[in-house]
């Protein structure tokens, strides 16, 4: 998979993709993440990429000329399964969407900034709009990084344990059960005996029951869509 991310401040994301699982996934060749500075595509001598909004109002708007130039250049080099705009009014990102996007080959993400982007970009270039929550960030960089992380960890070979991602919270519309590690007892606090029993079937059943109980207590809304 290849993920291209367009941003006015790409350096905000450099560290995010240079460590841990995301770094290992790239080094192993499972994914390629390429950050693009939108200013590199500006036709202005000063590398300007924004302008005042028609009709007045506070805030600057990312212009269509520079964005179109950037997207078209990237499209001339490869085809994209989705061109995604990170925006607060997009569809809410969840595990189901992450699963869907992890099956794609090439993704292009556009990070909004300032007051947003020219609406004509959304109408003519964007194929999908995604939000990570009902709040506003300074830009779409963090949102793009969040989505990329959720997608990349699902790719075969990225995680050391191939089944790990399948047991994460939300995969079955259930929260993950509690987990424990050594020591088995600490200051009188013991790990549940069932986890020390070595009986795999009973452990699986216990974990499922714990997932149901935790979801019912913390996110009962998820049970409405439980399969």
140 and 115 inside one domain: yes
Residue position matching structure tokens 């007892």:
185
Q: CA-CA distance, 113 to 138, in Å (whole number)?
A: 7
135 and 195 inside one domain: no
> At 19, which CATH number?
3.40.1280.10
116 and 185 inside one domain: no
pLDDT at 160: 78
**162 has pLDDT over 60:** no
Phi-psi region of 113 (alpha: psi -120 to 50; beta: other; left: phi over 0): beta
* Domain span including residue 126: 2-152
pLDDT at 170: 63
Band of residue 123 on the pLDDT scale cut at 50, 70, 90:
very high
Mean pLDDT of 195-214: 95
Residues in the chain: 227
16 and 99 inside one domain: yes
pLDDT digits (tens, 9 = 90+) for 48-77: 999 999 999 889 999 999 999 999 999 999
148 and 175 inside one domain: no
Does 92 reside within a domain? Answer: yes
pLDDT digits (tens, 9 = 90+) for 80-111: 999 999 999 999 999 999 999 999 999 999 99
Among the candidates 152, 177, 209, a domain finishes at: 152
pLDDT at 102: 97
177 and 206 inside one domain: yes
How many distinct structural domains can be found in the chain? 2
Does 162 reside within a domain? Answer: no
141 and 204 inside one domain: no
Does 161 reside within a domain? Answer: no
**168 has pLDDT over 80:** no
Q: What is the dihedral of CA 217, 219, 220, 222, to 10 degrees?
A: -140
Helix (H) or strand (E) holding 183: none
The number of helices, as runs of H, and strands, as runs of E, in the chain is: 7, 9
> At 203, which CATH number?
1.10.1270.20
70 and 95 inside one domain: yes
127 and 192 inside one domain: no
174 and 89 inside one domain: no
**pLDDT > 70: percent of the chain:** 94
121 and 185 inside one domain: no
DSSP label of 47 = -
Does 141 reside within a domain? Answer: yes
Does 160 reside within a domain? Answer: no
pLDDT digits (tens, 9 = 90+) for 23-42: 999 999 999 999 999 999 99
pLDDT at 225: 73
Mean pLDDT of 166-193: 86
63 and 133 inside one domain: yes
pLDDT at 58: 87
pLDDT at 114: 87
């Amino acid at each position: 998979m290849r993920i291209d991310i367009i941003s006015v401040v790409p350096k905000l994301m450099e560290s995010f993709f240079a460590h841990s699982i995301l770094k290992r996934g790239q080094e192993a060749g499972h994914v390629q993440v390429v950050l693009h500075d939108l200013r590199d595509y500006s036709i202005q001598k000063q590398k300007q990429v924004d302008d005042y909004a028609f009709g007045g109002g506070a805030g600057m708007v990312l212009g269509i000329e520079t964005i179109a130039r950037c997207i078209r250049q990237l499209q001339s080099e490869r085809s994209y399964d989705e061109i995604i705009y990170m925006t607060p009014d997009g569809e809410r990102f969840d595990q189901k969407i992450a699963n869907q996007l992890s099956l794609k080959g090439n993704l292009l993400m556009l990070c909004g900034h300032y007051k947003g982007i020219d609406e004509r970009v959304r109408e003519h270039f964007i194929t999908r709009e995604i939000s990570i929550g009902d709040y506003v960030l300074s830009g779409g960089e963090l949102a793009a990084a969040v989505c990329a992380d959720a997608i990349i960890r699902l790719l075969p070979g990225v995680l050391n344990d191939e089944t790990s991602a399948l047991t994460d919270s939300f995969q079955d519309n259930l929260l993950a059960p509690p987990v424990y590690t050594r020591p088995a007892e600490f200051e009188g606090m013991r790990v549940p005996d069932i986890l020390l029993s070595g009986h795999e079937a009973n452990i699986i059943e216990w974990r499922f029951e714990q997932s149901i109980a935790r979801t019912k207590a913390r996110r009962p809304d998820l049970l409405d869509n439980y399969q």
